[in-house]
Structure 1
């Protein structure tokens, strides 16, 4: 358990809070690049409790400004893209993407007011279909050489979804290898198809055993948590027999992402990004190690479960997550359909909009969550002391953060970690883009 004060320390992220100061030291996903397509590339963004407006100017360059006009506070998300910037419709004040005031047209001739006005602006960059923003002070860190950033655009797909709770409890579902044996249990093994959210229906590497059977029949995992240069590596083993063991390798990418295997051919890098203290978005980049991804198909699949323009889920508290008691008795452990994202959403949202950790009782299988919270508290303390927390990288350091490796396979019982290392190396050797990237 922890105190109310400790819980607030690691969950509250609005401007001026300790955790908020930490997260502002890193690049944060702010929007999908596709959200700025179309005739009017302007998008309101709420990120880390701040109201912002994201846009492309007439040259196509990205800009991110505070959303309230510095004249009288009108909403710049309703602005006009013209004359090289974003113009407020209230009195015509014009700002470029750096926040410089270009015009105050209603002021008298010769007015110097415009020269004294500067709207807050923030660095933005597009990577792998996501627009990242930096809300902190000073120079932003370099991007690590993650697979999702190294692979060509043809081999990555980005998507997002809104979650109605605090970012930390949403992130912690990805740091919990034990929950999959229950929350994502299916009573029938089916072949993996093109449907979204059925990643646990695929077979593990080096076997013909569906993950559904592994998770259903072998529900006492042995979890090892290892420190890594990028955060944490979690190795989860489930003994299948005297000869074989199911091995799953996942990673915590500090400060608020994880990297997991989707199949033997694809991985997911997923961030949980605070909108404010009580809601967040998940942003995911799917990376293919084989052929190009069908972006149109993947987006169409996912939009069956999420509504535009805000990527709100079609299942939630408002409709009991589609719960069906007959299905729970006969088909799935939750009774909430085939999409494991709905399962996760229920698990984390049902804890409340900010989980009360003073009432929790952690067990041995929660060791990854415990290790991550310690990293988080240590990093918060470092920022409070004026020190540099982990994963604030220069160019050379960023180039050394490769991968990180993930896998889901069946290897020899009691074997060393060389098994999953070899599986990951084998996948990379077969990826045409990985050899090119090297």
Structure 2
């Protein structure tokens, strides 16, 4: 359990909250590129309790500024894209991507009033279908060389979803390796074609689908170690005297995790506060072996949500689609075949902000407790101006932040520790775009060419 004051520290992310300031010192997802209208790429965004508006710049980049005009407080998300900026509909004040007021048409020609007006603005960068924003002080840090950023876009897919609870509940669900033995299991026949592939794919060397394997082995040994990216989490399930199932997931500090999704796929998922009681998860799926069918994947995901908010059709308002007959005959949850809904129910059902002062954690919660300790220590480091996890200070530091390795494999019961890195190295060696960890990443053009050669 946590002390009440620590629970407050780790859940409050507004502009003046200690954790809010820490999280703003990292690049955070602000929107999907695919949700920006092509005919008028302007969208209201609420990010860590700040109301902003995102828009496409003339040069193809992105601008992110305060949602409200400094003149009379009018909503700029309805503004006109004109003259390289966003023009307020009320009196025609024009704002550039840097937040500076460029024009005030009703003021005298000799007026310098516009020079004194500037609203909040934040730098943005686009990476694999997501617009990231930096809301912190000073210059933004370079992007790490994580796979989710360096994979060619043709091998990736990005999406998002709304969860009606605090951000930390989402992250803690993602780094908890023991829940998969129950939450995502079947009691009936596994309908492979529609269920989340990481639980319906056969685990190489076992003849079993992951949902069956983890369901039969409900007591994994969990080990957690610090890493440059945050935490590396091992879930070890001994199958017999000769074979052990090893699943490695990661915390990508401060609010993302990286998990294997089948044999060749991995996804990184950020849990980004809208405010302290709601958040979006953003995902970049990347495939080491094959180009993604982004059009099909997008259609599948859009069928599970309502727009424009990306709220799941199954949500707390309809009991997450719970069906007692399904629970007795097909899925353990009785909440349908979308594993995202299972995770959503688990973290939303705790309440908007979980009261961690009354929980009881065990040995199987090692990753959760390790994450909380890391967050609290990092808050102290941030206040003291000390280095933080996964935050490169320069290009060389960013180049060293690679991976992280996320694998689902079977190794020898004795000596599995020496196998997971080799397993990942083989996957990278066979990939049309990935490079060995520690080697310079391929440029997008080089990787795209490699992919084309492989396809040919």
Asked if TM exceeds 0.5, the reply is: yes
In structure 2, distance between residues paired with 1:403 and 1:115: 45
Deviation at 1:310, TM superposition (A): 1.5
Task: Specify the alignment match of 1:156 in structure 2.
Answer: 156
Task: Specify the alignment match of 1:181 in structure 2.
Answer: 181
Deviation at 1:59, TM superposition (A): 3.5
Deviation at 1:190, TM superposition (A): 3.1
1:237-256 maps to which residues of 2 (within 5 A)?
A: 237-256=236-255
In structure 2, distance between residues paired with 1:189 and 1:223: 29
In structure 1, distance between residues paired with 2:170 and 2:191: 29
Deviation at 1:62, TM superposition (A): 1.1
1:278-317 maps to which residues of 2 (within 5 A)?
A: 278-317=277-316
1:194-343 maps to which residues of 2 (within 5 A)?
A: 195=194, 197-343=196-342
Task: Specify the alignment match of 1:392 in structure 2.
Answer: 391
* Residue pair 2:27, 2:133 contacting (<8 A) in 1 also: yes
* Residue pair 1:196, 1:301 contacting (<8 A) in 2 also: no
Q: Which string of whole-angstrom CA distances, capped at 9 and with x for unpartnered residues, describes residues 215-258 of structure 1?
A: 22110111110111111111111111112111101111111111
Task: Specify the alignment match of 2:10 in structure 1.
Answer: 10
The 3 A distance-change label for structure 1 pair 29 and 15 is: same
Give the match's secondary structure for 1:343.
helix
Q: Which string of whole-angstrom CA distances, capped at 9 and with x for unpartnered residues, describes residues 342-383 of structure 1?
A: 000000000000000011000000000000101100111112
Task: Specify the alignment match of 1:56 in structure 2.
Answer: 56
In structure 1, distance between residues paired with 2:150 and 2:431: 12
* Residue pair 2:390, 2:401 contacting (<8 A) in 1 also: no
* Residue pair 1:58, 1:82 contacting (<8 A) in 2 also: no
* Residue pair 2:197, 2:262 contacting (<8 A) in 1 also: no
In structure 1, distance between residues paired with 2:151 and 2:422: 20
Larger deviation, residues 396-405 vs 417-426: 417-426
1:359-374 maps to which residues of 2 (within 5 A)?
A: 359-374=358-373
Is 1:347 aligned to 2:352, yes or no?
no
Q: Which string of whole-angstrom CA distances, capped at 9 and with x for unpartnered residues, describes residues 283-338 of structure 1?
A: 00000111110110000000111111121111111111111111111211111111
* Residue pair 1:196, 1:302 contacting (<8 A) in 2 also: no
Deviation at 1:199, TM superposition (A): 2.2
Task: Specify the alignment match of 2:73 in structure 1.
Answer: 73
In structure 2, distance between residues paired with 1:115 and 1:257: 40
Task: Specify the alignment match of 1:41 in structure 2.
Answer: 41
In structure 2, distance between residues paired with 1:196 and 1:22: 37
Q: Which string of whole-angstrom CA distances, capped at 9 and with x for unpartnered residues, describes residues 83-112 of structure 1?
A: 221000011000111112111001122111
The 3 A distance-change label for structure 1 pair 321 and 191 is: closer
Task: Specify the alignment match of 2:28 in structure 1.
Answer: 28
Gaps of 5+ in 1: none
In structure 2, distance between residues paired with 1:189 and 1:400: 44
Give the match's secondary structure for 1:380.
helix
In structure 2, distance between residues paired with 1:230 and 1:61: 28
Q: Which string of whole-angstrom CA distances, capped at 9 and with x for unpartnered residues, describes residues 141-186 of structure 1?
A: 1111111111111001100000000000111001100000011111
Q: Which string of whole-angstrom CA distances, capped at 9 and with x for unpartnered residues, describes residues 13-48 of structure 1?
A: 001111101101100000001122411000100001
Q: How many residues align?
A: 437
Q: Which string of whole-angstrom CA distances, capped at 9 and with x for unpartnered residues, describes residues 263-286 of structure 1?
A: 111100000001110000000000
Larger deviation, residues 344-353 vs 179-188: 179-188
In structure 2, distance between residues paired with 1:177 and 1:259: 12
* Residue pair 2:61, 2:125 contacting (<8 A) in 1 also: no
The 3 A distance-change label for structure 1 pair 189 and 204 is: farther
Gaps of 5+ in 2: 443-456
In structure 2, distance between residues paired with 1:268 and 1:192: 20
Deviation at 1:191, TM superposition (A): 6.3
Instruction: Tell me the TM-score normalised to structure 2 length.
Output: 0.93
In structure 2, distance between residues paired with 1:57 and 1:437: 28
* Residue pair 1:270, 1:282 contacting (<8 A) in 2 also: yes
In structure 2, distance between residues paired with 1:191 and 1:267: 22
Give the match's secondary structure for 2:247.
strand
